[in-house]
Amino acid sequence: MVHVYEFMWRVLHVLLHIHRTLITLFRIRLRNWNGQLWSRAIAALLVPIALSFPKQKKLVPAPGKRVGRRYRWGADGKSLEKLPDHIGLLIAEEEPRYTDIANLVVWCMAVGISYISVYDNHGVFRRNNSRLMEEILKQQQELLGLEGSKQHSVEFLSNGTDKQDHQVLSCQSVVKVLSPDDGKLRIVQAAQELCRAVEQMEKTAKDINVTVLDSLLRESKTTPDPDLVLKFGPVESTLGFLPWHIRLTEFISLPSHVDVSYEDLFSALQHYASCEQRLGK
Partner 1 sequence: MSWIREGELNLIEKLSANILKAGPMPKHVAFIMDGNRRYARKRQVERQEGHTQGFDKLAETLRWCLNLSIHEVTVYAFSIENFKRSKDEVDGLMELAKQKFIRLLEEQDNLEKHGVCIRVLGDLTLLPLDLQQHIARAVVATRTHNKCFLNVCFAYTSRHEIANAMAWGVEQGLIKSSDVSEALLSRCLYSSNSPNPDLLIRTSGEVRLSDFLLWQTSHSCLVFQSVLWPEYSFWNLCDAILQYQLNHRPLQKARDQHREGQALQQHEADRACLADLLQHHGNGKPLDAQRRQEALLNYTASREERVQDFLGALQHKRDSFLTDLTSQAALA
Binding site for partner 1 (CB under 8 A): 2, 5-6, 8-10, 12-13, 16, 54-57, 93, 121-122, 180, 183-185, 187-188, 191-196, 198-199, 204-206, 208-210, 212-214, 234-241, 243-244, 246-252, 275, 277, 279-281
Please classify residue 46 by burial: count the beta carbons closer than 10 Å to its beta carbon, then call 0-12 exposed, 13-18 middle and 19+ buried: middle
3-class secondary structure, 231: strand
Q: Shortest distance, CB of residue 252 to partner 1, whole angstroms?
A: 7
Of 244 and 262, nearer to partner 1 (C-beta) is: 244
User: How far from 60 is each of 2, 89, 235, 258, CA to CA, in Å?
Assistant: 37, 17, 16, 14
CA dist 218 and 36 (Å) reads 47
Of 15 and 169, nearer to partner 1 (C-beta) is: 15
Q: Shortest distance, CB of residue 38 to partner 1, whole angstroms?
A: 29
CA dist 70 and 110 (Å) reads 8
Q: Shortest distance, CB of residue 238 to partner 1, whole angstroms?
A: 6
Q: Shortest distance, CB of residue 246 to partner 1, whole angstroms?
A: 6
| CB-CB contact of 280 with 258 (8 Å) | no
Of 112 and 183, nearer to partner 1 (C-beta) is: 183
Of 173 and 253, nearer to partner 1 (C-beta) is: 253
Q: Shortest distance, CB of residue 220 to partner 1, whole angstroms?
A: 19
Of 147 and 199, nearer to partner 1 (C-beta) is: 199
Of 73 and 244, nearer to partner 1 (C-beta) is: 244
- Backbone torsion region of residue 112, taken as left when φ is above 0, otherwise alpha when ψ lies between -120 and 50, otherwise beta: left
Residue 178 main-chain phi, psi, to 5 deg: -115, 160
Residue 122: closest CA among 148, 146, 95:
95
Q: Shortest distance, CB of residue 262 to partner 1, whole angstroms?
A: 22
Q: Shortest distance, CB of residue 146 to partner 1, whole angstroms?
A: 38
| CB-CB contact of 71 with 104 (8 Å) | no
Of 33 and 53, nearer to partner 1 (C-beta) is: 53
CA dist 200 and 184 (Å) reads 24
